[in-house]
Amino acid sequence: MQRNPLGKTEISISSLALGTMTFGAETNKVDSFRQLDIYVDQGGTHIDTADGYAGGKSEEIIGEWISQRGKSHAITIATKGRFSPPEGSAGASRRSLIHSVDASLRRMNVDAFDLYYVHGWDPQTDILETLQTLGDLVDAGKIKQISWSNVSGWQLQKIVALASSHGLPSPVALQAQYNLLERGIELEVLPCCLENNIAVTVWSPLAGGWLTGKYAANERPADHTRLGEDPDRGDGYDYRNTERTYTVLRLLQVIANDHNRPITHPALAWAVSRPGVASVPVGARTVKQLEANLAAADFFLSQEEMSMLTQASALEALPYPYNFLEDPCGMDIWKVLGTRQVRNLAN
């Protein structure tokens, strides 16, 4: 499996990470262990979790697996704190973060985290307090690298600037929702990451299941699917028909058929190949689903296929000032010309 540098660090992580949000919730311990074994056996090196996943059970399962199997030096562990910890108080205050880190270390049976994400912005806490706390946790040897998730461009730049001016650890990674149907980070967040050499890791690369091809236009999701079981899931997407969504799905299917691959493979390959992206976590409820996703590791899109998917998924109506800009930072979010031509090909 391809490995990519983690920002400005000397750490490299596999292009496909193992997302473990299902562990302890939709996936029992036995099958979670099987997923971990399969992932590592296939060359995966980056395991991603959070203290809020399944009320801490995801971390506990990974901790038990580490205790039984041991932790290879090649494997990096990332967890997160900020939202809904199993105990204590939520937030990014000094008290909350220290408590959350210590509790996660106990659950996972490790001495330190390779990567620790603050799971989101905390408007109730001065960001300098958060950064100073993270610096103390790094000095104490409990965290090796810090990172953030779910922040805007101005928030991320403020974090970077304050860390630099106060001599504190700066984020080396940013985890955000990013896929062919959700490209909003390209407006500010991704350029900010590129400017500061911050690696991007992706959550929801398959758009909450939409890019698996199992949801059809004007049809309610089947009961056995995630959206069928819970229509409020799907990371902001629903089953209602939109031209852009189904144009992207049709084009993905064409590319997948050309290569005799499942539709998920070109969707994942697109995310893996985007500028600044270091790793794309793939999570699964079942071992079969995980194996299917991991098989995308050796699939790469041609330049033409990449361009067609990028154009077909372009945001249609950009607000000022983005509609005034002319691709000033090497990104293609503003390149909407030619989109209609690609859509016609996909119809």
Distance CA 159, CA 129 (A): 11
CB–CB of 193/200 below 8 Å? yes
Nearest alpha-carbon partner for 115 in 256, 6, 215: 6
The catalytically annotated residue of 53, 116, 117, 178 is: 53
Residues 6+ apart with CB under 8 A from 198: 7, 156, 160, 171, 172, 173, 174, 192, 276
In degrees, to the nearest 5, what angle opens at C-alpha 169 toward C-alphas 153 and 175? 40
DSSP 5: E
DSSP string across 175-188: EEE-BTTB-GGGTT
Catalytic residue check, 116: no
Angle between helices 57-69 and 29-41 (to 10 degrees): 60
Q: Known catalytic residues? A: 53
